Amino acid sequence: MNSKRKGVGLSAFTARSQAVSQFASHGDFLRTSNLNALQTQLSVFQSLLHQFSLTHAKDIRSNPTFRAEFARMCNAIGVDPLASSNASRNWKQEGSFWAQMLGGSVNDFYFELAVRVVEVCKDTRAENGGLIPLAEARERVTKGRAIGGGMEVSDDDIVRAVNSLKPLGSGFTLPVVGGRPMVRSVPKELNVDQSTVLDALQMLGYVTVSMLQDNLSWERPRAETVITDLLADSLVWIDLQDEETTYWSPTFIHEAAR
């Protein structure tokens, strides 16, 4: 249009601008068709997933391995079932992704499991200072307190359940200490020294002040301070019946028995 008004009569310019506008409209067309195709694919996929989950809802609920595989599949295609459940709740009356797909039972499953995990953490807090190995938490949930009160769950389930607590600001975290996945139920910042000692504790089971001095080349007061802090947070137990005072990680209580 502009080039025409200039009226220099150079048809090359007109042709170019026509080409540009044609490209633009064709681009638009491609985008829409692409979008339509994707939307169709997505709806097909969702209905398939829906069908799949309906057929296998029982398995998803009862079989931890199957559940983990299903959740992994959702993750692989970029669907986070729990995250989407929180996002969709606000603008859709129909409920969460899980609820839509599985009639609410899987979603409820994770929330119920989360409650169990919180209970386990609370029950053992005095003993372990609020740091429990993920595997132990799973075992305790699996066993349950009452007869028939246990749930068959995998580590993956526990992780999902704890993550589902995040919107509550519960302070539950899933740190890895000394290479072992943990559930931490007492929100507290650990300084670098304390984390180092906790890592060492997970590897060795116990430490002594001289071990810390020798291996980390710390001064004695530094090692003692860290130990005193960890004792105060009930993250270590003291043993006075060895040659040197030893400090044990309570996360090993349930492993020593094996």
Partner 1 sequence: MASSLTPSLAPATTATSYTLPPTGLSEPTRIEPANALPSGNQPSFAYPPLYNFPPFYTLQPNTTTRQAQLQAWSGLIQSYCKYHRTWRLSLVDAIDTPLFRNDALNRRLSLADAQTVLDWMANKDAGGGGGRAEWISTKDKSLAWIYWRRPEEWAELIAGWVDDTGQKNTVLTFYELMEGEMTTSQEFHGMDPDLFQKSLNLLVKRGRAQVFGSEDQQGVKFF
Our CB check for partner 1 shows the closer of 49 and 151 to be: 151
Minimum distance from residue 229 beta carbon to partner 1 (Å): 11
Interface with partner 1, residue 155, by CB under 8 A: no
Minimum distance from residue 62 beta carbon to partner 1 (Å): 6
Lookup: tokens for 139 = 């075992």
Interface with partner 1, residue 238, by CB under 8 A: yes
The residue type of 199 is: D
Minimum distance from residue 46 beta carbon to partner 1 (Å): 27
Minimum distance from residue 214 beta carbon to partner 1 (Å): 21
Interface with partner 1, residue 126, by CB under 8 A: yes
Question: Pick from 119, 109, 130: which is nearest to 190 by CA?
Answer: 130
Interface with partner 1, residue 231, by CB under 8 A: yes
- Point out which residues pair with 180 in neighbouring strands: 177
Minimum distance from residue 227 beta carbon to partner 1 (Å): 11
One DSSP character per residue, 93-117 reads: TT--HHHHHHTTHHHHHHHHHHHHH
Question: CB under 8 A: which stretch of 27-35, 57-65, 71-79, 104-112 binds partner 1?
Answer: 57-65
Q: How many Å apart are CA 138 and CA 182, to the nearest integer?
A: 11
Interface with partner 1, residue 178, by CB under 8 A: no
CB 121 within 8 A of CB 183: yes
- Point out which residues pair with 184 in neighbouring strands: 131, 173
Our CB check for partner 1 shows the closer of 7 and 148 to be: 148
CB 113 within 8 A of CB 154: no
Interface with partner 1, residue 211, by CB under 8 A: no
Lookup: tokens for 124 = 């053992």
Interface with partner 1, residue 150, by CB under 8 A: yes
* Interstrand relation of 131-133 and 180-184 (parallel, antiparallel or unpaired): antiparallel
Lookup: tokens for 245 = 């005072």
Which spans of this chain sit near partner 1 (rule: CB under 8 A)? 62-66, 126-127, 129, 139, 142-143, 150, 152, 206, 231-232, 234, 237-242, 246-248, 250, 252-254, 256-258
